[in-house]
């Protein structure tokens, strides 16, 4: 795939080859990125099968008492903006309390999607949100309709002796059942696929054919408006998430199908944003960071076409708590004249490290009333330190600890112990094909005692688990990691689970709406897009 602009960032800056997301799904990973804390500390780690927010009208989200890096930079005089995907919730108790909204988490300006892209956002695509449950609900509804028709026909021709009142009651119950689920799942495009500017809904549903140009226009405009003062801009691309909607001029451009086309369009957008920094004379005064929130989604396929990307030599992918393919992501920093160009760092780093890094650079002070799991990368990036400050990194799948990484600094070894791994389907396939995503618990996982142990410095593909027979340090390593887990658990305190079944349910009274609910439809953007 041709990604000249992302490649240019890497050439002109520092490339991190062992950059680790704190979760393998978007909602918890982004919560950790924004707060510098493992998702389990903020309640953004799930103990059920729903590990990401499901609705704009759910009541869960990033708690208001969490302090994002945007909030800390705001206090340092920075103008802060978020363009693109949020997926950290909107409301708590009413449709306009905005308790989880970006503007309540330190951003001065927000333009984008409070949720995330889904197949449901594009016409003629199979439903993605709770597809298996929807299929069951349709089946139950059809059974109820068939039963009502059978009873009615039997009563009319005298085959069944049943009172009309009973048939009417049965029809009423069936109707209520259908309305109860279809009012949410039948209108996903209207409820979830929306654009907002600050607190106002501007498109409901959003028009995907112009979304990329709108996002780019907003990002460039934010840079231009704030070029004379310190600013923080978080551009959270909707690319490269399914349904991979790609504008016409990039269709067929790559050699790797729709996924490649979408990646190359994103790279073009990256280039336009970098060009705007150059145009405003900000290149040498701006720290630029590029990353992904998790690995490729292996199970996202359309026939033989791979829609969710690939993870190279790394095992597993999106949704898998421990395997490298789900959590090892690109990481690039550029700051001409401050960070040495063309540098490659192989030390373990985390997306959570962005929090203390940008707070340090902005002259802020980290919160003292909570655990911050990230570590400032400034010494490492500038070459003043050779080793990462992380000794242990904990890899969760929802609220379940699946694996732990130990950076043994004296030897350079990177040990990784897997206590739980997903059961691949079919066996040996490397993913959970047919399930959409691998589970974190239950019959879909295998518990390992002793844990599977790998030395990533020698076996980055996690292909050959070590044992006491093949690795003399096996018992020492397992004991060391076990003590680290005990110490880590002592730092955890109970918090409300933001992704509980109640919190992720669709609640009509919380639905963002640009009209009078349920008549939620608008297009305030009109023809405001322009060629970029």
Q: Is the pLDDT of residue 158 over 90?
A: no
* pLDDT-derived band at 311, boundaries 50, 70, 90: very high
Query: If phi over 0 gives left and psi between -120 and 50 gives alpha, with beta otherwise, what is residue 494?
Result: beta
Half-sphere exposure (Cβ direction) of 74: Cα atoms closer than 13 Å = 16
Q: What is the pLDDT of residue 494?
A: 96
Question: Is the pLDDT reported for residue 528 higher than 60?
Answer: no
Q: Please check whether residue 421 is in contact with residue 321, taking contact to mean a CB–CB distance below 8 angstroms.
A: no
- pLDDT value at 532 more than 80: no
Percentage of the chain modeled with pLDDT above 70: 99
Integer Cα distance of 320 and 297 in angstroms: 10
Beta pairing class for 79-85 and 109-113: parallel
Identify whether the C-beta of residue 91 lies closer than 8 Å to the C-beta of residue 84.
no
Q: What is the pTM of this model?
A: 0.94
Q: Please, which contacts does 304-307 make with residues 24 or more away whose CB atoms are closer than 8 Å?
A: 305/257, 305/258, 305/259, 306/257, 306/259, 307/242, 307/244, 307/258, 307/259
pLDDT band at 149 (very low <50, low <70, confident <90, very high): very high
pLDDT at residue number 113: 98
Find the range with the poorest average confidence among 56-60, 223-227, 515-519: 515-519
Say what the pLDDT of residue 220 is. 98
Catalytic residue among 19, 26, 92, 390: 26
| Percent over 90 (pLDDT), the chain | 90
> Is 26 an active-site residue?
yes
DSSP, collapsed to helix, strand or coil, labels residue 3 as coil
Confidence of residue 304 (pLDDT cuts 50, 70, 90): confident
For residue 518, cis peptide bond before it (omega within 30 degrees of 0): yes
Residues sharing a CB contact under 8 Å with residue 94, sequence separation 6 or more, in sequence order: 509, 510
∠ CA(226), CA(227), CA(233), 5° rounding?
60
pLDDT given for residue 174 in this prediction: 93
Nearest to 40 by CA among 55, 56, 26, 29: 29
Per-residue confidence band for 531, with pLDDT thresholds at 50, 70 and 90: very low
Q: Give residue 144's pLDDT.
A: 93
Task: Yes or no: say if 277 and 286 are a contact pair by the CB < 8 Å rule.
Answer: yes
Residue 69: strand pairing partners: none
The mean-pLDDT minimum among 142-146, 156-160, 312-316, 379-383 falls in 156-160
For the stretch 210-251, pLDDT in tens is 999 999 999 999 999 999 999 999 999 999 999 999 999 999
List 19, 87, 294, 297, catalytic entry: 87
Determine the Cα–Cα distance for residues 64 and 161; give it in Å rounded to an integer: 60
Of the pLDDT bands very low, low, confident and very high (cuts 50, 70, 90), residue 355 is: very high
CB 498 within 8 A of CB 43: yes
Half-sphere exposure of 271 (CA within 13 A, CB side): 13
Query: What pLDDT is recorded for position 529?
Result: 45
Q: Are 265 and 251 in contact (CB under 8 A)?
A: no
Between the alpha carbon of residue 413 and those of residues 137, 294, 387, 454, the distances in Å are 51, 24, 12, 10
Mean pLDDT of 480-490: 98
What would the mean pLDDT of 53-58 be, rounded to a whole number?
97
Residues 6+ apart with CB under 8 A from 437: 25, 297, 299, 318, 319
Would the pLDDT of 527 be above 70? Answer: no
Based on the number of CB atoms within 10 Å of its own CB, is 125 exposed (0-12), middle (13-18) or buried (19 or more)?
A: middle
397 close to 420: Cβ distance less than 8 angstroms? yes
- HSE, CB side, 13 Å, CA atoms: give it for residue 487: 11
Read off the pLDDT of each residue in 414-426 and give the average, rounded to a whole number.
97
Q: Which residues of 12-30 are buried (b: 16+ CB within 10 A; e: fewer)?
A: bbbbbebbbbbbbbbbbbb
447 labelled catalytic? no
Say yes or no to pLDDT of 425 above 60.
yes
Neighbours of 49 (CB within 10 A): 13
> How far, in Å, CA of 449 to CA of 42, rounded?
29
Mean pLDDT score, 338-358: 97
pLDDT value for 525? 86
What is the arithmetic mean of pLDDT over 353-370? Answer: 97
CB of 44 closer than 8 Å to CB of 493: no
| DSSP-assigned beta bridge partners for residue 85 | 113
**What integer best gives the mean pLDDT of the chain?**
95
Q: Where are the beta strands (DSSP E) in 122-260?
A: 195-197, 200-204, 231-236
Which residues neighbour 445 within 8 Å (Cβ) at sequence distance 6 or greater? 420, 421, 422, 423, 439
Residue 8 has pLDDT above 90, yes or no: yes
């Amino acid at each position: 795939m041709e990604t000249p602009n992302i490649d240019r960032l890497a050439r002109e800056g520092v490339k991190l080859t062992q950059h680790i997301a704190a979760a393998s799904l978007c909602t918890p990973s982004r919560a950790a990125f924004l707060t510098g804390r493992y998702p389990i500390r903020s309640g953004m780690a799930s103990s059920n099968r729903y590990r990401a927010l499901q609705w704009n009208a759910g009541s869960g989200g990033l708690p208001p008492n969490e302090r994002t890096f945007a909030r800390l930079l705001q206090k340092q005089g920075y103008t802060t903006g978020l363009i693109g995907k949020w997926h950290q919730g909107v409301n708590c108790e009413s449709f306009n309390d905005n308790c989880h909204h970006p503007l309540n988490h330190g951003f001065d300006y927000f333009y984008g999607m409070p949720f995330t892209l889904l197949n449901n956002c594009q016409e003629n695509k199979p439903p993605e949100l709770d597809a298996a449950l929807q299929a069951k609900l349709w089946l139950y509804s059809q059974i109820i309709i068939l039963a009502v028709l059978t009873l009615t026909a039997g009563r009319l021709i005298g085959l069944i002796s049943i009172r009309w009142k009973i048939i009417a009651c049965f029809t009423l119950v069936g109707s209520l059942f259908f309305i109860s689920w279809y009012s949410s799942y039948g209108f996903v495009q209207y409820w979830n696929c929306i654009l907002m500017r600050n607190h106002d809904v501007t498109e409901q549903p959003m028009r995907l054919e112009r979304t990329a140009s709108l996002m780019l226009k907003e990002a460039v405009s934010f840079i231009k408006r704030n070029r004379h003062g310190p600013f923080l801009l978080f551009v959270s691309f909707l690319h490269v998430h399914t349904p991979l909607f790609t504008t016409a001029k990039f269709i067929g451009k790559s050699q790797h199908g729709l996924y490649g086309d979408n990646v190359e369009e994103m790279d073009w957008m990256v280039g336009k944003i970098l060009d705007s920094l150059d145009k405003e004379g900000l290149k040498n005064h701006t720290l630029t960071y590029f990353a992904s929130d998790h690995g490729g989604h292996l199970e996202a396929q359309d026939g033989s076409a791979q829609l969710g990307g690939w993870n190279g030599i790394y095992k597993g992918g999106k949704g898998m708590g421990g395997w490298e393919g789900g959590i090892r992501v690109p990481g690039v920093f550029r700051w001409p004249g401050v960070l040495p160009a063309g540098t490659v760092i192989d030390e373990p780093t985390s997306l959570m490290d962005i929090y203390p890094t940008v707070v340090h650079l902005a002259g802020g002070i980290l919160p003292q009333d909570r655990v911050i799991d990230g570590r400032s990368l400034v010494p490492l990036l500038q070459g003043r330190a050779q080793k990462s400050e992380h000794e242990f990194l904990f890899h969760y799948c929802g609220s379940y600890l699946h694996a732990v990484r130990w950076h043994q600094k004296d030897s350079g070894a990177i040990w990784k112990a897997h206590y739980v791994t997903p059961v691949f389907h079919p066996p040996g396939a490397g993913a959970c094909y047919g399930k959409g995503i691998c589970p974190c618990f239950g019959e879909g996982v295998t518990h390992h005692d002793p844990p599977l142990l790998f030395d990533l410095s020698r076996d980055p593909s996690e292909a050959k688990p070590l044992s006491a027979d093949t690795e003399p340090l096996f018992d020492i390593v397992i004991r060391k990691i076990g003590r680290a887990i005990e110490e880590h658990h002592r730092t955890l305190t109970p918090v409300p689970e933001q992704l509980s079944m109640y919190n992720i349910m669709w609640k009509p009274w919380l639905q963002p709406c640009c009209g009078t609910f349920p008549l939620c439809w608008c297009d305030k953007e009109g023809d405001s897009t322009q060629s970029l």
